[in-house]
Amino acid sequence: MKESHIYDIIRINIKKIRQEKGLTQAQLAEKTDLSHDYIRQIESLKVANTFSVDTLYRIAKALDTDISKLFKE
């Protein structure tokens, strides 16, 4: 599996779960103490931005979801 592929899966899942929870990118940014622009970049398939395990943990916690769900195809 290409490294970029797993990042794309995570990006898609973050956006999907965020929308299912009825949160905006700005609200997710506030809950994670990350910038709105950074959340936008994480969700964008056009930005080749990587992110840390800490960032994933903070997002999963803010979305009230198991971090493993972010990795499911």
Best CA proximity match to 43, nearest among 30, 65, 24, 57: 24
Of the pLDDT bands very low, low, confident and very high (cuts 50, 70, 90), residue 73 is very high
**pLDDT, tens digit, 9 for 90 and up, residues 40-72:** 999 998 887 789 999 999 999 999 999 999 999
* Alpha helices (H) along the chain: 3-20, 25-32, 36-43, 53-62
- Its sign, for the CA torsion 57, 59, 64, 69, is negative
Compute the average pLDDT of residues 26-51: 92
- What CATH class is the domain 3-64? mainly alpha
Best CA proximity match to 49, nearest among 58, 41, 37, 39: 41
Q: Where are the domains of the chain?
A: 3-64
Q: Is 20 helix (H, G, I), strand (E, B) or coil?
A: helix
- Indicate the DSSP class of residue 51: -
